[in-house]
């Protein structure tokens, strides 16, 4: 006997309306101002008009962050899935006119580019960049750098942000080509448990453009130029260093182009008084971890007090709290005395070493004190502050000698 199927009755229209109301309630969220370094780094790079590439695992919230950013900045969002487009979608389709021999063949742009030009502003979101094949990545080069699509030039008020999954978690993923990767500021996008929990409760962090201090613009540019040029003058190998492996070439690496982006980021971060974490994300995202950390270290040294000012008034000196920075200051003070050895400067240096020993780790003064002692001339009296350091220096030397004897004994016992 054949089975009889019971027809499935369609859901009443009223129930669909109730379901829509429930969905609307779930989507009814608000935002709050909070500390979110990665969101601050993203908004600062967008304000600086630099292309940004968000790296993160699937489902981490990259698309949601861009949607919220566009809404917060009141910019129309245009999303383009790079992996499902052809190269001609970014370079333009040839359109044959009446007389191509004299008029040429123009390259027609896609409809989304035309809409961006008509609106005059917007946020262009290039999603799934790591699944775009090499031919599409090559076509994106001009769009990302020159903002050109076919015969159209995107308005200056259009910002470009892209997103990509690591190759290990991307669907048929490709490594980014070196030329394309070098055009982006790379930001690692990760989830914060507290942000996720609070957001699922209905309150997400608010994306806002950084507040630039109009009074600090000139100072910020001067500071950024001095920082980047100072580092590259002493480390010329960092001007251009293409990684040797494919994965490294698909991330941030130093080149004149990426250093120019770094200079702009440092200037914007300085004018906005951005936190150290935000500046670190941006700098390392432009030129890579190694060069970025070297630049951050040089920025720390730029903020150190002038050794000549310290020698002129050691009693009013304020030494850095961080041990490495305090060590750098003391080394600079001793070097200043070596360049111009005078009794008063030598005495002042001993007073500074004594202050450093009282406020920081005693080990910091051992090497500077030993060097400074060798700079003493025969007719110079020993200052009282030097007596306070003798015990620390001699104890450190005995500890070093004991460590050397232990190491030698261990080596002989092998």
- Assigned domain for 111 exists: yes
- One domain, residues 330 and 192: no
- One domain, residues 242 and 342: no
Q: Are 143 and 149 in contact (CB under 8 A)?
A: yes
| Residue pointed to by tokens 């994300």 | 281
- Assigned domain for 7 exists: no
- Assigned domain for 180 exists: yes
**End of a domain among 188, 205, 222?**
205
- One domain, residues 187 and 276: no
- Assigned domain for 223 exists: yes
Task: List the chain pLDDT tens, one digit each, 414 residues.
Answer: 555 566 666 556 688 888 888 989 988 888 777 778 898 999 999 999 999 999 988 877 788 888 888 888 889 999 999 888 888 888 777 776 666 666 666 777 888 888 999 999 999 999 988 888 888 888 899 899 888 887 789 999 999 999 998 876 655 667 888 999 999 999 998 877 787 888 888 887 777 788 999 999 999 999 999 999 989 988 899 999 999 888 889 999 999 999 999 999 999 999 999 999 999 999 999 999 999 999 998 888 877 888 888 999 988 888 888 787 888 888 889 999 999 999 999 889 988 888 888 776 677 888 888 888 888 888 888 777 676 666 555 544 444 444 455 455 556 655
The pLDDT of residue 101: 61
DSSP string, 356-376: HHHHS-GGGGHHHHHHHHHT-
Q: Give me the torsion for CA of 389, 390, 393, 394, rounded to 10°.
A: -160
CATH number for position 60: 3.40.50.300
- Assigned domain for 97 exists: no
Long-range contacts of 22-26 (CB under 8 A, 24+ apart): none
Q: Are 32 and 72 in contact (CB under 8 A)?
A: no
The pLDDT of residue 225: 95
The pLDDT of residue 83: 82
Full residue range of the structural domain in which residue 351 is found: 307-412
- One domain, residues 66 and 167: yes
Q: Are 266 and 195 in contact (CB under 8 A)?
A: no
- One domain, residues 181 and 45: yes
The pLDDT of residue 172: 63
How many structural domains does the chain have?
A: 3
- One domain, residues 173 and 198: yes
**End of a domain among 272, 302, 332?**
302
The pLDDT of residue 29: 80
- One domain, residues 46 and 164: yes
- Assigned domain for 396 exists: yes
The pLDDT of residue 13: 64
Q: Are 287 and 295 in contact (CB under 8 A)?
A: yes
- One domain, residues 76 and 200: yes
User: Which residues lie below 8 Å from residue 116, measured CB to CB, with a gap of 6+?
Assistant: 78, 122, 124, 154, 155, 158
**End of a domain among 302, 325, 351?**
302
pTM of the predicted protein model: 0.74
- Assigned domain for 357 exists: yes
- One domain, residues 234 and 346: no
DSSP string, 3-61: --PPPPPPPPHHHHHHHHHHHHHHH--EEE----HHHHHHHHHHHTT--EEEE--TTSS
- One domain, residues 87 and 180: yes
- One domain, residues 196 and 267: no
- Assigned domain for 24 exists: no
- One domain, residues 80 and 193: yes
């Amino acid at each position: 006997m054949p089975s009889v199927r019971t027809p499935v009755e369609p859901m009443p229209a009223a129930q669909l309306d109730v379901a829509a109301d429930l969905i609307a309630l779930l989507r009814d969220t608000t935002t709050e101002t909070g500390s979110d370094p990665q969101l601050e780094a993203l908004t600062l790079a967008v304000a600086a008009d630099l292309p940004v590439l968000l790296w993160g695992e699937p489902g981490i919230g990259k698309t949601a962050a861009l949607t919220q950013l566009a809404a917060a900045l009141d910019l129309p969002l245009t999303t383009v899935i790079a992996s499902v487009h052809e190269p001609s979608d970014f370079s333009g389709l040839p359109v044959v006119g009446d007389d191509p021999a004299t008029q040429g063949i123009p390259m027609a742009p896609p409809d989304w580019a035309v809409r961006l030009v008509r609106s005059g502003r917007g946020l262009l979101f290039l999603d799934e960049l790591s699944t775009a094949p090499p031919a599409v990545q090559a076509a994106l080069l001009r769009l990302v750098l020159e903002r050109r699509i076919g015969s159209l030039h995107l308005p200056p008020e259009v910002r470009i942000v892209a997103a990509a999954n690591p190759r290990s978690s991307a669907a048929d993923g490709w490594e980014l080509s070196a030329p394309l990767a070098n055009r982006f500021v790379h930001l690692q996008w990760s989830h914060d448990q507290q942000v996720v929990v609070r957001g699922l409760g209905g309150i997400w962090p608010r994306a806002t453009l950084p507040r630039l201090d109009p009074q600090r613009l000139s100072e910020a540019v001067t500071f950024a130029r001095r920082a980047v040029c100072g580092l590259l003058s002493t480390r010329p190998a960092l001007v251009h260093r293409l990684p040797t492996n494919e994965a490294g070439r698909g991330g941030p690496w130093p080149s004149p182009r990426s250093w120019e982006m770094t200079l702009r980021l440092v200037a914007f971060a300085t004018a906005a008084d951005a936190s150290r974490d935000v500046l670190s994300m941006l700098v390392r995202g432009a030129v890579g971890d190694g060069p970025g950390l070297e630049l951050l270290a040089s920025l720390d040294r730029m903020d150190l007090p002038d050794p000549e000012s310290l020698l002129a008034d050691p009693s009013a000196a304020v030494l850095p709290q961080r041990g490495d920075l305090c060590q750098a200051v003391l080394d600079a003070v001793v070097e200043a005395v070596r360049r111009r050895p005078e009794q008063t400067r030598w005495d002042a240096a001993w007073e500074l070493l004594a202050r450093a020993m009282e406020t920081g780790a005693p080990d910091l003064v051992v090497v500077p004190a030993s060097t400074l002692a060798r700079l003493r001339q025969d007719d110079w009296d020993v200052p009282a502050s030097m007596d306070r350091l003798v015990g620390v220096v001699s104890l450190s030397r005995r500890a070093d000698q004991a460590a050397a004897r232990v190491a030698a004994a261990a080596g002989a016992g092998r």
